[in-house]
Structure 1
């Protein structure tokens, strides 16, 4: 595998980034199924996601490939592999995860800039959670789902969903997104890129700032996510499937094994084909 001299990744490199993000994040989402949550008063402490995995990959490699890989990994391993599929209802999470990770990856032009890495990780995580919150509020406002009040909070969907958003952002967002990303991006920068035959990202070779076109595409995709979730909640999910063994321990173990095998096999191939940066065939 030859080293890419410019910032743009080749199609084969993008595919490897996609598969790596899919398998690692898919494995991580299955691990979250094993972590218990606990509640103190009205505050619930639970591990919602390990979003730092695709965030790191998006900041070091092609953001779109890492974002799509993460969303696909969550869908395949934490839904289909566990024997369940919600049809259109799955589209909302797929799109919001993709947008959040993509935005974070595009914000970082120089991975050595720790401040920007931290800001991007927080913004990307916040964007994903905020979009989910907006969708939940709209579902109640348009009466496609019932409002469930939380004891100790005002009986308002805005208060309930807003509190849940802040709870997830300040707990999972900081502990399992911001802090690991801040540590791993500078740590891996310049070391992992040769495994894919790529030069480390710099301000000169980065994708540039987010354009108006990027923002419009994200907004259109988010509108599609809202529409899909509304249809799913209204009983128009199209394909709603749940196996008899859904959520079983066997399914969970099988999913983790498959994701781990894919990730290990890909890392082995990457290591075998790795070249020092600057060397080309």
Structure 2
């Protein structure tokens, strides 16, 4: 639970900070800088648990949707399923948690899997007519290239530039320092092949989840979110309202670390 709360709040914090940064255009495609994926890559892969993976999308939902007043239950399902499954599979490939290159590579793979899944889902919505995407009217197949280029740019920008590269420097500085604050030991490596039977099962689960994520996303476009919370605080109060989830996430994250550190020191653990 401590790991879940820490990852959720840290991911929510950096996600909202990047919301304050402007988008830029590459070849006419809008590209957002964030989230700063090196935070998730570095912290989640320190603990390598299912709950750490689940905390990534939950952090985005709580701090990036609910607290800013723009939440749709069905709309949140895609990220909840795809992001969790992508990270859960990727982390199963780690054999040496002391190797920053392996950690960065696994983090990049998780981001690439997420963007690839989103690419298929977005194109699928175009073909069933629930969303209009950029495509040449007489050649609908161009939507594959348009959306694919967007996914590739996000992999490069978020997965490499603001993901794998900073992780190479941040991860080794966090390993062995964050875990004791939560009263935990660093995860050890393992012998054997990178791909195991457990990894294959997780990959099969990732593939099986895609239709579920697509169905939920398509329903959210046609029937609404079923459960919605849309007071739209940012539209009402302006961009400065983004500091509310930023402050809340920061208080939770750093308050949790301080609390656990005092408790661990008090018990002599």
Calculate the TM-score normalised by the size of structure 2: 0.87
Q: Does 1:83 find its partner at 2:69? A: yes
Distance in 2 separating the partners of 1:119 and 1:41: 27
Equivalent-residue separation in structure 1 for 2:191 and 2:180 (angstroms): 15
Residue of 231, 235, 247 corresponding to 1:257: 247
Partners of 1:246 and 1:100 in 2: CA distance = 30
1:235 matches 2:227: no
Aligned to 2:188, which of 199, 202, 224? Answer: 202
Partner of residue 145 from structure 2, selected from 159, 162, 184: 159
Stretch of structure 1 that moved more, 100-109 or 251-260: 100-109
Task: Answer whether contact 1:81 1:251 (CA < 8 A) is retained.
Answer: no
| Structure 1 gap segments, 5+ residues each | 1-14
Distance 1:245 1:115, change over 3 A: closer
CA distance in 2, matches of 1:199, 1:172: 29
Root-mean-square deviation (CA, aligned residues, Å) is 2.7
Q: Give the alignment of 1:25-40 within 5 angstroms.
A: 25-40=11-26
Q: 1:220 and 1:280, CA in 2 relative to 1: closer, same or farther beyond 3 A?
A: farther
Tell me whether 1:212 sits opposite 2:200 in the alignment.
yes
1:221 aligns with 2:204: no
SS in 2 for 1:39: strand
Q: How does 1:1-281 map to 2 (within 5 A)?
A: 15-42=1-28, 44-149=30-135, 156-204=142-190, 209=196, 210-247=198-235, 248-274=238-264
Cα shift at 1:240 = 3.3
TM-score, scaled relative to structure 1: 0.83
Q: 1:19/1:95 Cα in 2 relative to 1: closer, same or farther (>3 Å)?
A: same
Distance 1:170 1:213 in 2: 28
Displacement of 1:205 in angstroms is 9.5
Count of residues paired in the alignment: 262
SS in structure 1 of the partner of residue 73 of structure 2: coil
The question of whether the paired residues in 2 share the 8 Å contact of 1:110 and 1:201 is answered with no
Contact 2:24 2:32 in 1 (8 A): yes
Structure 2 stretches lacking a partner, 5+ long: none
